[in-house]
Structure 1
Amino acid sequence: RWHAALRTDPATFKALLIDGIPVTELSDRLSFEGDRTVLDRLLKALG
């Protein structure tokens, strides 16, 4: 189990898609649970 706090620039965050839905339509904060693979995928998307 892990907890991560990530910071990125607003343009990168707004461009992020979750299951094909723009993150800005979901919330201005992102919370999720998963294994290391999920974290790696998120970091790559924000990279």
Structure 2
Amino acid sequence: MTNDLSVGLLVVLGVLAGIGALLVLMTMLEPGAQTRRAPAHRAAKVPPRP
């Protein structure tokens, strides 16, 4: 009984770890997922006056 429980728990944890790894890989390989760079200084955030 204990053996069946531990094997089942390992299978569930393995599946969750695999899903997490796939999500990380898909996020890293997505072409449109480039992060925006922060402005170099505070004045870069202020829009120009009309």
TM-score by length of 2: 0.26
Bigger relative CO (Cα 8 Å, ≥ 6 apart): 1
Which of these two proteins has the greater Rg computed from alpha carbons? 2
Give the structure with the higher percent strand: 1
TM-score by length of 1: 0.28
Give the structure with the higher percent helix: 2
